């Protein structure tokens, strides 16, 4: 495998980073970077960490070519060398990350989620409780999806950054598991990766059962809730699995964000034919300036869920009646 760290890779321009990813040769991971400056979204860090640990699990080799970029110290303090079990390339005085970022963490169970959330709270800088609840929900849903559906014993890799200038928290989660299509087709037909991603984003659809609405334990709402939080707050959200990527675009100011059960009806971009990512990678930005009350958002989500449940139930009934 080969991963190139560019001078800029955030959700708005993430396609350029993904297109340079080379998934061939699973016996080695070669990491290179821009020579002058590197600034990337947490999803990039989590993908590098996940790919590296995957290669390590196969007794492969990791080659992190010496970085000359001025920002190289960041990759040390964020924990990339540590999680890949590589010797640091620099000698620096590490500073307390609290309030600025949460280092790359491996999540395998609920205890790991709790620990990560404890480290994440200071990034909110004493925002109101609604921020805390919403972001806690984003983390728990994203990681829970990985633990339940990825089939990956290495777990999920998660990381978060706070950007003071934009007053946003950026979160990334990645794994090298079975991927969304394999997970979703245990219960639903999906002819390609993009179709599988769209199904995974649809409320009431889950790979654990063919029953519309899911089960008591898994209602198929996780990714829909995460996407909805980004939608109402006019932020980016993206999900990449297999050779496809779905990216929610920002709702323009002046327009009222409306939740759609069908992800294709949201303002978005979707891309196919990308270098194949075996597992799943998800990124989200959450602005802290304006934030809809989380309880109000949950009410909207419930309304959309119920409407979609009824409509899909009618479709299923009609098909059963006329076939």
Average pLDDT over residues 270-296: 85
What is the H or E stretch that residue 160 is in? strand 156-163
> pLDDT-derived band of residue 316, with 50, 70 and 90 as boundaries?
very low
Average pLDDT over residues 90-105: 68
Average pLDDT over residues 112-138: 74
pLDDT digits (tens, 9 = 90+) for 16-35: 999 999 999 999 999 999 98
pLDDT (0 to 100) of residue 319: 37
Cα separation of the two ends of the chain? 48
> What whole-number distance in Å separates Cα of residue 141 and Cα of residue 221?
9
pLDDT (0 to 100) of residue 213: 41
pLDDT (0 to 100) of residue 214: 40
Sheet holding 156-163, edge to edge: 101-107, 156-163, 168-175, 277-287, 237-242, 244-248, 268-271
pTM of the model: 0.86
pLDDT digits (tens, 9 = 90+) for 174-227: 999 999 999 898 888 999 999 999 999 998 776 444 544 443 334 457 888 889
> What whole-number distance in Å separates Cα of residue 106 and Cα of residue 323?
48
Can you state the angle between helices 129-149 and 110-120, rounded to 10 degrees? Answer: 150
The answer as to CATH 3.30.565.10 being correct for domain 2-322 is yes
Question: Where in the chain are the domains?
Answer: 2-322
Can you state the angle between helices 129-149 and 222-232, rounded to 10 degrees? Answer: 150
> pLDDT averaged over the chain?
82
pLDDT digits (tens, 9 = 90+) for 53-63: 999 999 999 99
């Amino acid at each position: 495998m080969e991963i190139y760290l560019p001078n800029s890779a955030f959700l708005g321009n993430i396609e350029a980073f993904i297109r340079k990813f080379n998934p061939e040769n699973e016996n080695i991971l070669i990491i290179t970077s821009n020579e002058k400056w590197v600034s990337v979204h947490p999803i990039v860090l989590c993908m590098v960490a996940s790919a590296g640990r995957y290669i390590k699990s196969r007794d492969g080799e990791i080659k992190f070519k010496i970085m000359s970029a001025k920002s190289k110290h960041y990759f040390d303090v964020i924990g990339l060398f540590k999680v890949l079990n590589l010797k640091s390339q620099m000698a620096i005085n590490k500073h307390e990350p609290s309030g600025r970022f949460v280092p790359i963490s491996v999540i395998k169970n609920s205890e790991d989620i709790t620990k990560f959330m404890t480290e994440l709270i200071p990034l909110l800088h004493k925002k109101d409780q609604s921020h805390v609840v919403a972001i806690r929900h984003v983390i728990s849903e994203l990681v829970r999806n990985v633990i339940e559906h990825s089939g990956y014993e290495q777990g999920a890799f998660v990381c978060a950054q706070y950007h003071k200038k934009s007053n946003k928290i950026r979160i990334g989660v990645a794994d090298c598991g079975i991927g969304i299509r394999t997970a979703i087709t245990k219960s639903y037909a999906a002819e390609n990766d993009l179709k599988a991603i769209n199904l995974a984003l649809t409320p009431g659809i889950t790979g654990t059962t063919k029953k519309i609405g899911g089960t008591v334990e898994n209602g198929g709402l996780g990714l829909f809730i995460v996407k909805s939080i980004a939608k109402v707050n006019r932020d980016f959200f993206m999900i990449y699995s297999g050779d496809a990527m779905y990216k929610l675009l920002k709702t323009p100011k002046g327009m009222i964000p409306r939740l759609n059960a069908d992800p294709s009806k949201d303002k978005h971009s979707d891309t196919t034919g990308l270098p194949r990512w075996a597992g799943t990678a998800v990124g989200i930005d959450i602005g802290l300036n304006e934030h809809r009350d989380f309880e109000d958002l949950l009410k909207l989500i419930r309304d959309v869920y119920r409407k979609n449940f009824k409509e899909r139930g009618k479709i299923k009934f009609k098909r059963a009646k006329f076939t």
